[in-house]
Structure 1
């Protein structure tokens, strides 16, 4: 039986601590993406269901520019508001997005481990949608922090979206968010709090999840969704420069694959 179960009353080791951490201190940081990871759809595509005819006008679609998706979604929310779509309507749409297969079971499993896992979410979607979806599914309380593009009703009562980062220096990531920077800043923040994780786990699917996975060291685990851009980029990096990607790679098709690996980690620890 793993010492991570809260009923066992055992302490969790901290990363690099060389001894016992305080009672209840997290051993592992578990980071999730949202779109096509926690939920089985892209929430920005799913929100089109709130538009008249459940489809955006072609003229609006044509304004999208590569690397500036957040700006495009700002225009989408403005258009929806002009069509009479209110935040309560959008909330109902977000609440209907299905979880990825096995994800509900995985999140319940993690919650049962008590303080062993500290869980955060980094998403290029928006806070309103992510929180609405997780709250409806009963999992919002699991996440210590949610990092996403801020979205909230404005003075007119319409949903307004802003970028997470005003600027960053990463050429790989979209202009509004670099997940590598988000994760790195969070790890430094927790280190100042005296929290040093024994291992990092990152669950994602997209190309923007490859960048933060570069922070993972030997002994950490990347969980890319099998066949999705994050998985392909890791494979390309491993082929181009063997050993350059230091973390263990565990592709997943359903969240049961992730749970199974985490169970093995806990049993071995």
Structure 2
């Protein structure tokens, strides 16, 4: 199809740049309006560009390592569960996006469960999480997890004191059972300061593209900051066990938090590059009598762009 090698290489390069643009599109969400409007001084703008260059260089390098990790998990049948916990607007979702962005969703998937249904509230508390645990060769990332009971449910009064104490009694054994079954369990807490959460909430309030991220629960959590702090301290104290310790990610700087989290995650497994067989694109089989049927023009999407 491509007789001109230069044209072929140009097309491949353009496709690669399109892939990187996807990352840039996500990064735009993290930039302040005044930066986009050019309100920075020349010196600050230069420093900003340099920090972004370093960030993207490291992010793409780490994402390449994540692909190697994925191949190793698939080849060895390893099973991994990664929990992401933290205050609202701490950047858990952004970190998860960068981890999964270049990976195969059949190997690495994200679980973000809604509030339990009436039926699920009558089940054993951990029951609805069990069905999402990985099979061999899979990585599962929980965007919030069973630790909801130790945080939002406790602070908002969605569980009784008896249920709260039962959780702390059961969760160490539950996690040890998961680990004994051959699953590696990694737990991250994204730590956000009071001032930074306030800034991010204000950013969401004034950005029409981000207002959907703010729920009444998020706003109430802001009012109950100190109660959430106490709940977090109790949670870590009572569930930081040798078999599945907590790892705290300082998250006031989103980009540093993402890079540090990915770097640490890679260090938790003895992965190595899995050699792939060389791939050769086969020639397309062509038949003498084949004719492509004309598609009716009215079913095409309008070419607005």
TM-score band (shorter)?
0.3 to 0.5
Normalized per residue, which structure has more helix? 2
Question: Which has more radius of gyration?
Answer: 2
TM-score normalised by length of structure 1: 0.35
Q: Please give the TM-score of this superposition, normalised by the length of structure 2.
A: 0.32
